[in-house]
Amino acid sequence: MQANVVVVGSLNMDLVTRTERLPQPGETLFGHSLATVHGGKGANQAVAAARLGAQVAMIGCVGSDAYGLQLREGLLAEQIDCHGVRNVEGGVSGVALIVVDANSQNTIVVVPGTNACLVSQDIDACDSALQKADVIVCQLEVPMSTVGYTLDRGRALNKTVILNPAPASGPLPVEWYDAVDYLIPNESEAQALSGVVVDSLDSAELAARTLMGFGAGKVIVTLGAQGALFVSEQRAVHFAAPKVLAVDATAAGDTFVGAFSAALAAGRSEDQAIRFAQVAAALSVTRSGAQPSIPYLSDVEGFSPS
């Protein structure tokens, strides 16, 4: 395995239905369509980084079912190194149930399946890839102990470590933060991690600085159509989002993280990497599905704001 971006995380098959609006508790709605789409936050970020110019290796687990075979083949088709994707014999691959409404908002239920099987030994087995990488990326759809182990190893190797704390429902282990160079939450994740209500740029900055107080190097709070807020010890900068017609926001955050990782690995500055990632994420919301919506490098380089 040799890659300049290594992604440690989940691989899911997404079952996506579109409805006029999201259902209320106990309510049954009719959907307009059903699609089976390759997803999982880890795999999405790996595909984004690969399509946007990086050499990528994926570390994760799939089942011995048909979904597992399809997920692996999908990554291989993107020229992603899958030596670190372990097949769990008899296991059932992860699945995400996604409902998208007419306003492109979504609700997601994730069934982890074999994503829960990723352990520290899997990380050790791919240590040569971590040693050769420029950037290591993690999320929270695999066991927390494995994420923490990977973060520690990334710090020990002096690599650029990115943590996308998603999904987040509460505080992270405080010892993680010192190992993270770039923490990239959305508004709700920043609020869950920091305890600060995030409803404005000022409160987003306060949440980011709270997280930096825990030890995170730098924080990028993604704000959907409102752009992104970058916060470091020296500065706080708001980057406005490109204007596009949104269709489906399912993989926008993953596209941002993957694109940002690829741009850093390519030697771009932080500001350049954020702007690059914003264009990629904006393009992704103009298309349906998780991985099918992720743009290619030529799409981003050819983008002209409307």
71: exposed, middle or buried (Cβ count in 10 Å: 0-12, 13-18, 19+)? buried
pTM of the model: 0.92
Residue 60 annotated as binding site: no
Q: Is 57 annotated as a binding residue?
A: no
Burial class (CB in 10 A: 0-12, 13-18, 19+), 64: middle
| CB-based contacts of 237, cutoff 8 Å, min separation 6 | 229, 230, 271
- Is 225 within any annotated ligand binding site? yes
Position 140 scores a pLDDT of 96
55 among the known binding-site residues?
no
Tell which residue, 282, 279, 271, has the closest CA to residue 224: 282
Task: Please tell me the CATH code under which domain 5-10+41-91+115-301 is placed.
Answer: 3.40.1190.20
List of residues 6+ apart from 25 with CB closer than 8 A:
none
144 is in an annotated binding site: no
To the question of whether residue 254 is assigned a binding role by annotation, the answer is: yes
What pLDDT shows up at residue 248?
67
Any known ligand binding at 272? no
Give the gyration radius of the chain's Cα atoms.
18
The pLDDT assigned to 2 comes to: 54
The catalytic residue among 65, 81, 122, 254 is: 254
User: Is position 102 annotated in a ligand binding site?
Assistant: no
Query: Residue 297: enclosing H or E segment and its boundaries?
Result: helix 297-301
- Three-class secondary structure of residue 207 per DSSP: helix
Contact 185, 224 (CB under 8 A): no
With H, G, I as helix, E, B as strand and everything else as coil, classify residue 95.
strand
What pLDDT is stored for residue 47 in this prediction? 97
Long-range contacts of 109-113 (CB under 8 A, 24+ apart): 110/10, 110/12, 110/141, 110/167, 112/10, 112/141, 112/142, 113/12, 113/63
Report the C-alpha gap between 74 and 150 in whole angstroms. Answer: 24
pLDDT, residue 70, reads 96
Task: Say how far residue 12 (Cα) sits from the centre of its chain.
Answer: 13
Query: How many residues can be counted in the chain?
Result: 306
Q: Consult the annotation and say whether 14 binds a ligand.
A: yes
d(CA 123, CA 145): 11
pLDDT tens for the chain, 306 residues long, are 556 999 999 999 989 899 999 999 999 999 999 989 899 999 999 999 999 999 999 999 999 999 999 999 999 999 999 999 999 999 999 998 989 898 878 888 889 999 999 999 999 999 999 999 999 999 999 999 999 999 999 999 999 999 999 988 788 999 999 999 999 999 999 999 999 999 999 999 999 999 999 999 999 999 988 999 999 999 999 999 888 877 767 788 999 999 999 999 999 999 999 999 999 999 998 887 778 889 999 999 888 765
Domain boundaries, the chain: 5-10+41-91+115-301
Is 42 labelled a binding residue?
Answer: yes
State how far the Cα of 76 lies from the Cα of 274, in Å rounded to an integer: 27
User: Closest Cα partner for 208 from 231, 179, 234, 174?
Assistant: 231
Task: Give the residue from 3, 198, 170, 196 showing the smallest Cα distance to 82.
Answer: 3
What are the structure tokens assigned to 72, written together? 């692996």
Q: Assess whether 254 carries a catalytic annotation.
A: yes
Is residue 194 a contact partner of residue 216, using CB atoms and an 8 Å limit? no
Q: How many CB atoms lie within 10 A of CB 273?
A: 22
Is 41 part of any known ligand binding site? yes
